[in-house]
Amino acid sequence: MQPNDVAVNIPEVIQQIPLNYYLIFSTALFVIGIIGVLTRRNAIIIFMSIELMLNAVNTLLIAFSSYRSDPTGQVFVFFIMAVAAAEVSVGLAIIVMIYRNIRTIDVGVLNKLKW
């Protein structure tokens, strides 16, 4: 295989950026999501932070998959997206249900069950 062919076939990012950087990038995104879960009280925003975590995972999987030319990683991402969609529908239904009952979705108020 000629070096030229390689340059044509392989995406430039893969040639230039070490895989490690994707790992670091995804981890950063993941932890930002975690911090979001920790700091917010609005149930919807907490939920969105969780989506952020899932997307970090997606990015990581796609990076691994692309660098290794292994499609299974990307298939997994496909599943994660599908599952996330299902989860969102249920999650929002729960949030709406709670809003109906107590007119707020502040998780700080929901601490009647304890000890």
Q: Considering only residues 51-110, where is the footprint of another protein by CB under 8 A? A: 51-102, 105-108, 110
Minimum CB distance to another protein, residue 81 (Å): 5
CB–CB of 49/33 below 8 Å? yes
What are the Cα distances from residue 74, in Å, to 5, 60, 77, 81, 102?
24, 10, 5, 11, 41
| Binding residues among 4-33 for another protein as defined by CB under 8 A | 6, 9-21, 23-33
Residue 2 within binding range of another protein, rule CB under 8 A: no
The Cα–Cα gap between 83 and 40 comes to 24
Minimum CB distance to another protein, residue 103 (Å): 8
What are the Cα distances from residue 8, in Å, to 3, 11, 15?
9, 8, 11
Minimum CB distance to another protein, residue 105 (Å): 7
Minimum CB distance to another protein, residue 61 (Å): 5
Beta bridge partners of 42: 106
- Tell me the number of residues near another protein by CB under 8 A: 105
